[in-house]
Amino acid sequence: MFDSQAFRRALGNFATGITVITAVSPEGEPVGLTANSFNSVSLDPPLILWSLDKRSNNLAAFSEASHFAVNILAADQMHLSNQFARPSDDKFAGVSFREGLGGAAVLADCAAVFECSVHQMIDAGDHFILIGKVEQFEAEGRAPLCYHQGGYSIVMPYSRLSSDKGETSSKPELPGRLDSNLYYLMLQAMRSYQADYLPLQMSTGLQTTEARMLMILTEHQSLDVKQLVEAVAMPEQDVRVAVEVLERKGLISENDGRYAISVQGQEKSDSLWHLANEEQERVFAKFSDEEIATFSKVLKGIIAK
């Protein structure tokens, strides 16, 4: 038996961007859905592709549309990803957009937009592959919204200080002016921290998003799916998969659509917090309590802007 859930989970290791793909229905209504299956195909002619689930309510619209627009979401557009990933008659409520080629909606403030004429539609399993010919595009270069292991992520530029093994050297020689560039230093510090911490977290048998969900459920009595979507920065479909996984492992339980942590889950969460605290103590061991308090204050100040 082929395990489709494990297959889906394995695919989640390929980090992607997130797009909202739009078109106009034969009735003239704007339609759109969240998709991460977007990819480039050809430079000459300029072709791109994405795949559409045959169960989509918008199958007829995309089958008949002459054009579609691929809106590459920016990091601060998570709400649009959530809004277009849910079947609804009013997906465009509160969304600012203009009509692009063939009437397909071009959403405001995206990282990039590719306006395409439909080049080919290929039947492929439970999806159709749509190939578009790019007629027009704009690229604002905003930081993109990413998707990895069922959760939203942001891009962190790769460190030039890393060794081949992916570990930062213990005595980094910071190149020139970067030495005093705080943004650069924060990125390198994050990367260095993450390199050691994420494998530790994975060793508990939980994906980052599942671990995050469990840790959040220890802070709250019980949460429904909508509240979890907000709290853990995950699309609803992935929250549903994750709660199923956590429930099967006996770490959470469901009652009337609300999820609460179980005794076993509490123990797992304690061990996750323990790991997090241990790692923090290890990393910050060479600094005084006063330095750490100042560091924390500075970080909170930057976050709050």
Ligand X SMILES: Cc1cc2nc3c(=O)[nH]c(=O)nc-3n(C[C@H](O)[C@H](O)[C@H](O)COP(=O)(O)O)c2cc1C
Q: List residues near ligand X by CB under 6 A.
A: 18, 33-37, 50-53, 56-58, 85-87, 147, 235, 237
Using the minimum distance from each CB to ligand X, give the nearer residue, 8 or 297.
8
Using the minimum distance from each CB to ligand X, give the nearer residue, 122 or 299.
122
Using the minimum distance from each CB to ligand X, give the nearer residue, 18 or 105.
18
Measured CA angle at 142 (ends 136, 147), to 5 deg? 95
Instruction: Write down the residue that tokens 């979890």 correspond to.
Output: 228
Instruction: Write down the residue that tokens 């395990």 correspond to.
Output: 3
How far is 141 from 74, CA to CA, in rounded Å? 9
Nearest to 51 by CA among 98, 88, 11, 91: 11
Least CB distance from residue 87 to ligand X, whole Å?
A: 4
Least CB distance from residue 295 to ligand X, whole Å?
A: 34
Least CB distance from residue 36 to ligand X, whole Å?
A: 4
Nearest to 209 by CA among 178, 187, 241: 241
How far is 34 from 70, CA to CA, in rounded Å? 10
Using the minimum distance from each CB to ligand X, give the nearer residue, 83 or 269.
83
Least CB distance from residue 207 to ligand X, whole Å?
A: 15
Least CB distance from residue 286 to ligand X, whole Å?
A: 40
Using the minimum distance from each CB to ligand X, give the nearer residue, 237 or 253.
237
Least CB distance from residue 107 to ligand X, whole Å?
A: 15
Using the minimum distance from each CB to ligand X, give the nearer residue, 58 or 71.
58
| CB of 23 closer than 8 Å to CB of 68 | yes
Using the minimum distance from each CB to ligand X, give the nearer residue, 100 or 235.
235
Least CB distance from residue 17 to ligand X, whole Å?
A: 10
